[in-house]
Amino acid sequence: MPNDATGPSSLSLWLEEALAGWLLPVAALAVVAVTGILYYAGLVSEAAAGGLVSVTAPLLAAALMLRPLLESGRDRGGKSLVAVAAVATLLASAVPALRSIVPGEPLFHGDVGIEGESIPIPAGVQGNVRVLVHGKLGQGGEPSVAFTLAGSEPAIEGRLERTIGYARVGRGGRARVAHDHTADWFEGTLPPGATALRLAKLQGQLGGRLEVAAYHQWLPRGWLWALAAAALLLAAAADARLGLKGNTAVPSGMALAFGLLVAYNATPFAAAGPAVGGVVLGAMTGALAGAIAGVIGRKLVPQARRRPPDRSARDAAA
């Protein structure tokens, strides 16, 4: 009889090389590098550049988490935990980060510039909302503007600020550079019957009017932290079950830290910087969090016995 056994397909070999080799990291770095070049050349918008990084980084981390699935003889339950942890990590990191940069269509929006001015709230809009406030500081004016928007519970209080830094110019030269923080996200609750968001307080000189947009708050920050912790614990349990040390938990922690940093700091008006900074800071803090979670997981979850290789399958392939 002819031998029916066939070796691994070209697709499976490609997937194995992609997950276990250099292909994915190099591809991710290439995407980020090209995006950065296009952004600084003015060919890609702030939101597009930040959004692409916010998707690429969690995807790479989730792919790295899947490496144990390629190893034969591993416990099936442990592999299932790896798959669930990878999906949970991807969703808990990429979705909040992307929603901070590309929030979609607002429930309502408007602008205010003088105390007492208000933005009407459409009928039926109530409950938890996420409010984006954006403005400009006057050139040469005060370096800080504080504001309060009444109408939500609690009232929305924020500040636009200008900070001064230094940049290197030429050989040994330094120049003062102004950095304006002009947008922020805020959480609030619109009570039943709320009719308007009113500018109750304004201290400082604006360089224009405050633009305000309200969006559905699908996931309050407390729940975001809870989901991130649950995804990290799943990854740590998968490592412990498979007898690994950080293979799944460390990239999970890095992606989740990245997602939290971007969700808290990025806006559609300032996305590229927080996204790139989130990659660096998230890698450092997330790796530490993943390592700690891995230690906890090994103390709580027993390691599964590794299955011996299937000799019949090996002989057939030979």
233-284 tens-digit pLDDT:
999 999 999 998 888 999 999 999 999 999 999 999 999 889 989 988 999 9
Judged against a pLDDT cut of 90, whether residue 36 lies above it is answered with no
DSSP state of 183: E
Tokens found for residue 265: 């700091």
pLDDT at 171: 62
Q: Are 253 and 287 in contact (CB under 8 A)?
A: yes
Alpha-carbon gap, residue 214 to 205, rounded angstroms: 24
Predicted confidence band of residue 32 (pLDDT cuts 50, 70, 90):
confident
What does pTM read for this prediction? 0.83
Arithmetic mean of pLDDT over the chain: 85
Residue range 132-153: mean pLDDT, rounded: 88
Q: Could you tell me where the DSSP H helices lie in the chain?
A: 10-20, 23-40, 46-65, 76-101, 221-242, 249-265, 272-300, 311-317
Q: Which residues pair with 210 in a beta bridge?
A: 112
